[in-house]
């Protein structure tokens, strides 16, 4: 029997009481306002927002040990940043994070671990800017085993978290090295330096480029015809795919721009130059569709070869000349058509793709290579964390 099992058997053999968060922690309602960037005086005091440390400032409004909980509904769903995180010492916390001080019945770190495993989407209020209100936060049920059990769980998870972070850092460093290696060989293979036998052609000369229209996220359905939204190209997809993440109904799909096997779907709009012209080659057997802010390149080359070239420095240097806009940037299909690409024989394209595929999978595929190892470690951590934080209810 493990130590944690012995403690549970000793202190709470009949189960664990669940209480509302507001019963064990005081949500400090001190008037707080964000300090705009132009008014922040640099200092050594951490300045916190809904996603962690935003800056370091001169002044502080809290001094002690607290738990911060993000109020931002988007963050609570996406988990891009921690949902809950512990702080101690002098701090400034802006009005986008709840700050909680705990009483004697609960440890701050125990509640932090528990909240970070929870799905808090049910507690988010609807509205133009969905958020976790103070009232809803106070109503969240929290298991409350005796303090010796809480402290042992925190000790285990602290140790596991530290080991996980060290391993994650090593894997991330290795992954970054592999990614640089992939980028180097990709750009070298697709530069064709000194090759007089390779012709460079404009994209408009090897195919046709058509811009789509329509398609909003609210149009997505559970099933139907596969579709690729322009925003997914630089956030969800890699160089190629044979499955879509989203669907639309057949009636709408018939009105949208069609994508056939081998076509490239290209993002024409973004908030930065880097994401403009990110593309994904469609390799599925069935036709799919795309909409506005995206265009489709129809051609007869190896689709992976063309997609890999879109990732190169050579391509970036050409496309950035045609990007326009400030806050929202765009590129016209007619200008994409002016970008030049080296066109070797199809046999040579296939050879290059076979080399790049191996390197690409090692650095991007969540089912293989280092990304798969990183994902497996993350899932392992979450499995043991959730197991430690799952309790039999006392009233069950």
SS3 state of residue 186: helix
**Domains in the chain, number:** 3
Start-to-end CA distance of the chain, whole Å, equals 24
- Reading the block at residue 367, the tokens are 């089912």
What is the pTM for the complete model shown?
A: 0.66
Other beta carbons within 10 angstroms of residue 259's beta carbon come to 26
Same domain, 380 and 314: no
Same domain, 261 and 333: yes
For residue 109, the enclosing domain spans 17-144
Residue 218 and residue 202 in contact, taking contact as beta carbons nearer than 8 Å: no
Q: Is residue 3 part of a domain?
A: no
* Strand ranges inside 104-254, DSSP E: 141-143, 199-202, 207-211, 225-228, 240-241, 246-248
Same domain, 319 and 395: no
Q: Which of these three, 305, 327, 343, is where a domain ends?
A: 343
Same domain, 333 and 223: yes
Same domain, 158 and 133: no
Q: Is residue 166 part of a domain?
A: yes
Same domain, 316 and 335: yes
Same domain, 74 and 132: yes
Same domain, 203 and 329: yes
Same domain, 373 and 352: yes
Q: Is residue 286 part of a domain?
A: yes
Give which of 243, 247, 238 is closest to 217, Cα–Cα: 247
Adjacent-strand bridge partners of 331: none
pLDDT per residue, tens digit, the chain (396 aa), is: 588 888 888 888 888 999 999 999 988 866 677 788 778 888 999 998 888 888 899 988 899 999 999 888 777 777 777 789 999 999 999 888 899 999 888 999 999 999 999 988 888 887 667 889 899 999 999 999 999 999 999 999 999 999 988 988 898 888 888 889 899 999 999 999 888 889 999 999 999 999 999 998 899 999 999 999 999 999 999 999 999 999 999 999 999 999 999 999 999 999 899 999 999 999 999 999 999 999 999 999 999 999 999 999 999 999 999 999 988 999 999 999 999 999 999 999 999 999 999 988 888 775 677 778 888 888 999 999 999 999 988 875
How far is the C-alpha of 4 from the C-alpha of 150, rounded, in Å? 9
Give which of 267, 176, 270 is closest to 229, Cα–Cα: 267
Query: Domain of 219: which CATH number?
Result: 3.90.220.20
Q: Is residue 279 part of a domain?
A: yes
């Amino acid at each position: 029997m493990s130590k944690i099992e012995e403690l549970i058997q000793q202190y709470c053999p009949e189960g664990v009481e669940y209480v509302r968060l507001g019963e064990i922690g005081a949500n400090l309602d001190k008037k707080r306002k964000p300090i705009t960037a132009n008014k922040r005086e640099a200092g050594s005091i951490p300045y916190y927002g809904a996603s962690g440390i935003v800056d370091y400032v001169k002044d502080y409004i809290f001094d002690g040990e607290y738990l911060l909980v993000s109020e931002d509904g988007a963050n609570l769903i996406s988990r891009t940043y921690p949902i809950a995180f512990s702080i101690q010492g002098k701090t400034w916390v802006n009005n986008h994070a709840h700050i909680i001080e705990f009483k004697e019945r609960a440890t701050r770190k125990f509640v932090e671990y528990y909240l970070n495993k929870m799905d808090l989407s049910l507690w988010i209020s609807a509205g133009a800017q969905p958020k976790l209100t103070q009232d809803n936060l106070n109503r969240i049920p929290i298991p409350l085993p005796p303090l010796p059990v809480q402290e042992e769980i925190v000790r285990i998870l602290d140790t596991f978290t530290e080991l996980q972070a060290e391993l994650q850092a090593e894997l991330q460093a290795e992954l970054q090295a592999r990614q640089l290696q992939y980028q180097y060989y990709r750009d070298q293979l697709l530069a064709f330096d000194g090759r007089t036998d390779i012709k460079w052609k404009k994209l408009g000369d090897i195919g046709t480029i058509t811009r789509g229209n329509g398609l909003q996220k609210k149009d997505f359905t559970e099933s139907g015809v596969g579709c690729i939204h322009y925003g997914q190209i630089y956030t969800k997809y890699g160089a190629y795919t044979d499955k879509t993440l989203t669907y639309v109904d057949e009636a709408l799909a018939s009105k949208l721009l069609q994508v056939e096997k081998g076509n490239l779907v290209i993002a024409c709009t973004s908030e930065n130059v880097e994401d403009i012209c990110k593309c994904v080659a469609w390799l599925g057997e069935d036709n799919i569709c795309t909409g506005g802010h995206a265009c489709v390149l129809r051609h007869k080359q190896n689709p992976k070869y063309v997609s890999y070239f879109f990732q190169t420095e050579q391509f970036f240097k050409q496309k950035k000349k045609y990007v326009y806009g400030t806050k929202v940037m765009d590129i016209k299909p007619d200008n994409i058509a002016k970008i030049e690409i080296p066109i070797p024989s199809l046999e040579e394209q296939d050879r290059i793709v076979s080399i790049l595929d191996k390197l690409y999978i090692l650095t991007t595929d969540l089912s293989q290579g280092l990304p798969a190892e990183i994902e497996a470690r993350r899932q392992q951590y979450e499995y043991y964390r959730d197991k430690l934080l799952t309790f039999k209810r006392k009233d069950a």
